[in-house]
Structure 1
Amino acid sequence: MYYYLLMLVIIVISIGLFWLAGLPKIKTKNLSFIMIGLGFNGFTIPVSSFIGIMAAGAPNSTIFDFLRGLIFIQVIPFLILMIGVLKWFKNSINNA
């Protein structure tokens, strides 16, 4: 039961991050892409943890099987977030 509650909280926070990305204060600081990347990461955390748990379900599997399943799903949203952070750093250095 607590697992479902935790996943619900993560999804609600992700929806909040998507909503915050449209606020004028966030747009003036050029943080919209980072907020969208964080929201996208938040949506994929439950899916990636589910895939990792399913990968580690076999009796002879190890923690590395769980991590491979988790990272396999989480790598694309993480790259989107890193691109957003790098774009933000580049813009903040150029505008300073």
Structure 2
Amino acid sequence: MKKGEETWQQYLIGYAFTNNGRLRFAHRALHFEVFISVARSKEKREKRKEEQIERQSEVKRQFIKVTSSGGVWFAPSAEVAVRGKAFPLAL
């Protein structure tokens, strides 16, 4: 929490206790703070998801290369590094 936000919350709490008739206002402000917090968490989750998708696509670009061997297409997985010529397993 930033310093300005903390000061604002302290002001709202003080306002709620000094003005009993205005307690509903403080409740709405608290609800707004919770809403902002949930929105920030959602943004962080979406950003992490985008970064994960970007990393996965980078792995695909680096490791999954389709090579041709005598008309037979062979797509290696990310764990398998294919060097030289790819031969069919069934002879």
**TM-score > 0.5 by shorter chain:** no
User: TM-score range, shorter-chain basis?
Assistant: 0.3 to 0.5
Q: Which has the higher strand share?
A: 2
Larger Rg: 2
Q: Which has the higher helix share?
A: 1
Q: Which has the higher contact order (CA 8 A, sep 6+)?
A: 1
